[in-house]
Structure 1
Amino acid sequence: MKPVLRTIVLLGVICLPLQVFCTDYKASMFGIKSNGTTLNTRAIQKAIDYISEQGGGRLVFYVGRYLTGSIQLKSNVSLKLMEGAILVGSTSIYDYMVDGKPRALVFAKHENNIGISGKGVIEGNGKDLIKNLFAQKKQGLIDQARSSQPALLHFDSCEAVQVDSVQLWKAAGAVQIYRQCQNISIDRVGVKSIDDQLNTGAILEKCSNILIKNTYVETIGKSLVDGGQNENILIENSIDAKGTPLHLQ
């Protein structure tokens, strides 16, 4: 397929399902606090669940620091981080634990038409979270075999995923993980995560129809990791910290 035509096809496949985010809900409506100290995990999750039950929409965060543990996106729900809004990861590994295992800060599985957008920041507090995780392991409070350093974003078996314009900082593990997903758009995203060797920009595994453009990645680990069995990937105008064009490694 010719490059121009391929781009049009990818854009059409990726963007068409992402038009239902028609209703905005302010985070403050759900008692979500922007003071940087109140743990908002339950309030944010209740907001996401409610919006999903209403048929979909965007949960909008305005200026402030919103402390949270792991949250799960649901179908037809998008997070919108306005400029000056920072979604801040908790430094306690227990705020990420689900069924005895740590989960990413933002997680979704078997969901459709989901996204994160805006000029805000998702900050993982990676260095302090790693210290806490290792301390719990050393004390024998967490199963060594079942514990891992949480990613910032982890989407598993999802369709129509859009990550647009946000800044992704200071992950404990991988910054982004996409497994068995279809129709992924990553556009104008800035990644800066240099606290640990596991800080890869993105891991793609068994995914199809992937568009990455206008993206910058600065990590200690690889910028883009090819987990295998990916199909139909287009990377445009995207570089790492050395100015090298991004490519799967």
Structure 2
Amino acid sequence: MRIKNIIIIVLLCLNATVLAAKDFSVSLFGIESDGKTLNTKSIQFAIDHINQNGGGRLVFHAGRYLSGTINLKSNVILHLEDGATILGSLNPFDYEKTKDFPSFLFAFNQENMGITGKGVIDGQGKFVARNVVANIEKGLTKDSYKYGRASEASRPMGLYFRECKNVKIEGVTFRNSASWNQTYDQCQNLTIDGITIDNVDYWNNDGIDIVDCDKVSVTNCYIDAADDGICLKSHDSKRFCNDIYIANNTVRSSANAIKFGTLGHGGFKNVKIINNIVFDTYRSAIALESVDSGFLENIEIDGLRVYNTGNLIFLRIGERTKKERKSTLNNIKISNVYAEIPATKPDAGYSYEGPIEDLPRNISPAIIITGLPGLLISDVVFKNFEIRHPGGGNALYANVPLNKLNTIPEIPAQYPDFSMFKELPSWGVYIRHAKGIDFSNIEMKVDKTDFRVPIVLDDVHNSKFSGLKINQIVNKKEIYQNSSTKIEIK
């Protein structure tokens, strides 16, 4: 019995040793926390060592760790304890360029890996971008260098993961990349939970970009971005974003808060956007755009609260590429929404604001749905909305008469955004080239007298509107119809 007990104790100790070995302190690898020593090689050695020895967590304790590009590997987790900060090098030549873009954190074709903890990843992007510009002006780096800034291909993004599986990003704060903060390209089983993104230091500062990914969840995050907050894209015509869950996030953007499209060569399918908050956003709270010969379908949005945004919802079919396959947008359900549209610029005062729009243009409608002739947006349901709009439209400033709706341009190849048409003839809802639209229990309040009709339909068919509550009606018209058929109003 004694021998058996001894064996059991020894096995328990060995097992405990194995479990403990799953955490590797950065100090084991001589990684310095002084914020000055460039740790790129030592951090990479540590990741490679853990990857080759069964996997585990590389634990960063309180301190500041300076590094260039870090390549994450399978079965390795970077764990940042509270007070730990990984700093991006200020030297642009310390970043690797892979798949056409440089990145601070990079992974290609890896699995069972990620980043966790309560620490910070700070790309120091403003200073890196300035140094990129300096290198361009010295002739050391070739770049298109438009508008006085370096292109995205020359500025390192914060994180770029491609073709990775079983990825977990949890708890960490990501700050100040020189370009897009995070891009996940053709990844599967991706979980992003409880992270903070503070990415307002330079141009093209998207929060999270999800490209042709499958089975993704983005939950409980706080995102403040100078460009799009959460952006779904499809770069490959043979792939698409599928099974995406976006819930309980708070998003602020000097572009769009939650956006699909541009690019959209493949498509977007089976997406749920549940219980999110949007504030101080320059363009649209929700922008669903199918403009590159792809498809956009089976989208559910439920529980959305929007404060101070230029536009609530923008749905758009475009035709930026001449291909046999045409863009489609259908089967969208949006419910339980509260929104406030301001009379003034919603992102005024942020470090990188959206541009001043082309004028003249009165405040745009809260909801804009625009297909193309012969390419109709179809089967869209809006239910349980409360919208506050500033109104105040002035016919002497900008005006599209209802008998001249054909003067509104189609511009199928133009980059899509809600203000692309300039002046529109309604303050609440504008729908053009659509069918199967269902609005029910919609309350719209306008603060100041507006000459425009609340709802305008142009080439809309087989649609119904019920339970409308509108506090201002122009010439006894809630809804103006042009070239529209089978419109049911209750």
TM range (shorter): 0.7 to 0.9
**2:139 aligned partner, one-letter code:** G
Task: Give yes or no for contact 2:96–2:103 (8 Å, CA) kept in 1.
Answer: no
Q: Which residue of 2 aligns with 1:182?
A: 188
Query: In structure 1, what is the Cα distance between the partners aligned to 2:168 and 2:287?
Result: 19
Pair 47,248 (structure 1): closer, same or farther in 2 beyond 3 Å: farther
Equivalent residues in 2 for 1:1-249, closer than 5 Å: 23-98=22-97, 103-144=102-143, 147-228=153-234, 229-241=240-252, 243-244=277-278
More strand by share: 2
Query: In structure 2, what is the Cα distance between the partners aligned to 1:244 and 1:99?
Result: 33
1:101 positional shift: 6.4
Q: Any idea what the Cα deviations from partners look like across 1:15-47, whole Å, max 9, x if unmatched? A: xxxxx9970000010010000000000000000
Where structure 2 has 5 or more consecutive residues not aligned to the other structure, the ranges are 1-18, 145-150, 235-239, 254-276, 280-284, 289-490
Pair 109,100 (structure 1): closer, same or farther in 2 beyond 3 Å: closer
Pair 25,191 (structure 1): closer, same or farther in 2 beyond 3 Å: same
Pair 77,247 (structure 1): closer, same or farther in 2 beyond 3 Å: farther
**1:157 aligned partner, one-letter code:** E
Question: What RMSD, in angstroms, separates the aligned Cα atoms of the two structures?
Answer: 2.2
1:167 positional shift: 0.2
Report which of the two structures shows the higher radius of gyration computed on alpha carbons: 2
Q: Which residue of 2 aligns with 1:10?
A: none
**2:204 aligned partner, one-letter code:** L
Task: Give yes or no for contact 1:178–1:207 (8 Å, CA) kept in 2.
Answer: yes
SS of match in other structure, 1:136: helix
Query: In structure 2, what is the Cα distance between the partners aligned to 1:155 and 1:82?
Result: 22
Q: Which residue of 2 aligns with 1:16?
A: none
1:193 positional shift: 1.1
Query: In structure 2, what is the Cα distance between the partners aligned to 1:194 and 1:223?
Result: 11
Task: Give yes or no for contact 2:229–2:252 (8 Å, CA) kept in 1.
Answer: no
Query: In structure 2, what is the Cα distance between the partners aligned to 1:100 and 1:154?
Result: 10
Query: In structure 2, what is the Cα distance between the partners aligned to 1:99 and 1:112?
Result: 18
SS of match in other structure, 1:103: strand
1:138 positional shift: 1.3
More helix by share: 1
Pair 116,170 (structure 1): closer, same or farther in 2 beyond 3 Å: same
Query: In structure 1, what is the Cα distance between the partners aligned to 2:99 and 2:106?
Result: 16
Task: Give yes or no for contact 1:21–1:77 (8 Å, CA) kept in 2.
Answer: no
1:62 positional shift: 0.2
Q: Which residue of 2 aligns with 1:12?
A: none
Query: In structure 1, what is the Cα distance between the partners aligned to 2:247 and 2:177?
Result: 24
Task: Give yes or no for contact 1:77–1:113 (8 Å, CA) kept in 2.
Answer: yes
Q: Which has the higher contact order (CA 8 A, sep 6+)?
A: 1
1:58 positional shift: 0.4
Query: In structure 2, what is the Cα distance between the partners aligned to 1:201 and 1:139?
Result: 31
Query: In structure 2, what is the Cα distance between the partners aligned to 1:35 and 1:227?
Result: 39
Query: In structure 2, what is the Cα distance between the partners aligned to 1:56 and 1:151?
Result: 26
SS of match in other structure, 1:74: coil
Aligned residue pair count: 230
Q: Any idea what the Cα deviations from partners look like across 1:52-71, whole Å, max 9, x if unmatched? A: 00021000000000000001
